[in-house]
Amino acid sequence: MRKKLIAANWKMNNAPEGAYDASSPFHANTEVDVVVFPTLLDIRDCNDAQIITGAQYACIEETGAHTGDVCMSQIAAAGCRYILCGHSERRKDHGETNEYVALQVITALEHNLHPILCVGETEEERDAGKEKDIVTAQLSGIPLESDITIAYEPVWAIGTGKTATPEQAEEMHAYIRSLLPEDKRETTKILYGGSMKPENAAELLSQPNIDGGLIGGASLKPDSFGQIVQIASR
C-alpha cells in the first residue's frame, strides 16, 4: 500500500491566511503525507510552523556566478525535504529541457532531496495522440531506480479548471508505472496534478495508480486543500 501524498504548490503566491496555524491542513498527519512548496521566501516560516517543505526549483550548479539562482545544497540546508523538478511552468517560462530536468533530479538525489518529477503533455500533443510518447521522452534519462515521486500533470489541465477524467488519468498513471523498473513499480508514488479540487478529488484519488495530488489553485484555499487531504485520508 502506497501512502497518499498531497502536495501544495503555492507557486509565486504568499502563504494563505492561517497556513501557519497549528490546525491548518498543511501539516502532515498520520494518514497522508503532506508537503508544501512555498516561494523560497516562505520556506523558513513554513519550517518554523513544522510544515514539511520543498522548493519549486533549484539550479544544478553547486555555487558561483548564477544570479538569481539557488542551489540544491542551499535548499537542503534551508530544511527542505522535497524539490519539484520540471514543472510545466518552469519548462515553458525558463526553457527547462528534459535533459536539464534529468540533471536536476540527479543533483537533488545527491543532496538527499526527494524529487517530485513533473511530466505531462500539452493539449496539442494529446490531440495528436502523442501523450504517451511525450511522457516517455520526459522520463528518459531519469534515474527511475531511485526513490523519486512522479507527478503526471497534463499541461492542458493546470490552472485551467479542466481536469483529466479519472479514466484518462488512470490510463496515463498505469502507463507511467509500466515504465518503472520492476522493483520500483509497487513503491513509487505517482501523483495527479491539474485542477484537482474537492469536487473531483475522490474519483481521481480512488484510481488504483493515483497515489496523491499536486495541487496548485486549490492549495491557496486552506478549506479546499483540507477537504482534499481529508478525502485522501479515507
Q: What are the backbone dihedrals phi and psi of residue 10, each rounded to the nearest 5 degrees, phi first?
A: -80, -5
Q: Which of 155, 172, 215, 232 binds ligand PEP (CB under 6 A)?
A: 215
Active site (annotated) includes residue 153:
yes
Stretch that binds ligand PEP, among 14-22, 134-142, 213-221, 226-234 (CB under 6 A): 213-221
Binding mask 178-207 for ligand PEP (x = CB under 6 A): ---------------xxxx-----------
Look at residue 179 and give its three-state secondary structure: coil
The nearest distance, CB 163 to ligand PEP, in angstroms, is 8
Q: Does residue 182 have an active-site annotation?
A: no
Partnered with residue 115 across adjacent β-strands are 83
Cell of 130: 502523442
Q: Does 153 help bind ligand PEP (rule: CB under 6 A)?
A: yes
| CB 216 to ligand PEP: min, Å | 2
Residue with smaller CB distance to ligand PEP, 61 or 199: 199
Catalytic residue among 89, 96, 153, 170: 153
How far apart are the C-alpha atoms of 36 and 97, rounded to whole Å? 24
Sheet of 5-9, strand order:
33-37, 5-9, 212-215, 190-193, 149-152, 114-119, 82-85, 54-55
Residue 22 near residue 12 (C-beta atoms within 8 A): no
Q: Measured from the CB of residue 191, what is the shortest distance to ligand PEP in angstroms?
A: 9
* The length of the chain, given as a count of residues: 234
- Does the footprint of ligand PEP cover residue 158 (CB under 6 A)? yes
Q: Which three cell numbers stand for residue 63?
A: 555555487
Using CB under 6 A, list all residues that contact ligand PEP: 9, 153, 158-159, 193-196, 214-218
Residues annotated catalytic, as ranges: 87, 153
